[in-house]
Structure 1
Amino acid sequence: MAELFKTDIQTVTDLFFADKFAREAFKYKCSESIFTVAEDTANYLRNTNSKQGTFNFENE
C-alpha cells in the first residue's frame, strides 16, 4: 500500500491504527477525552520501554 500511495510504511501503519482506534472509540460512544487519555498512555508506554542511561563514576 505504501508504494501505491507513494508514502512510507510508517505513515500507512499510523493511519491504519488511528482509523482503527477512532472507529472503536466511536463504536463504544467514548467521550472526546479518550484521545487525550490514549496519548498519555502511549507516552507512558514509550517512556517505560526506553532504556535508562548509565553513569560512569570512575575518575579518569
Structure 2
Amino acid sequence: MVKDSTPSQVATNALQGIPFGSIIGGPLRACAEAQAEQAKAAAEFMKEAGLDLDKETKEKE
C-alpha cells in the first residue's frame, strides 16, 4: 500500500498523536475546581459579613 503524502493527510497524521484530552481537559478541570473554591469562599464571606438571610422571614439576620 502506498503512503498518502497529501498535505491534508500529513497534517491529519501529525495531529492524531497529540493527547488533546490531556491538553484541554487538565486546564478545564483546574478552572472548574478554582470556580468551585471561589464560590465557597464567597458564600463564607457573605455569611461572615452578615448577609445571611433568616430562613423564616427571608430578611437579613
TM-score (norm 2): 0.37
Which of the pair is proportionally richer in helix?
Answer: 2
Could you say which structure has the larger radius of gyration?
2
TM-score, normalised by the number of residues in structure 1 = 0.37
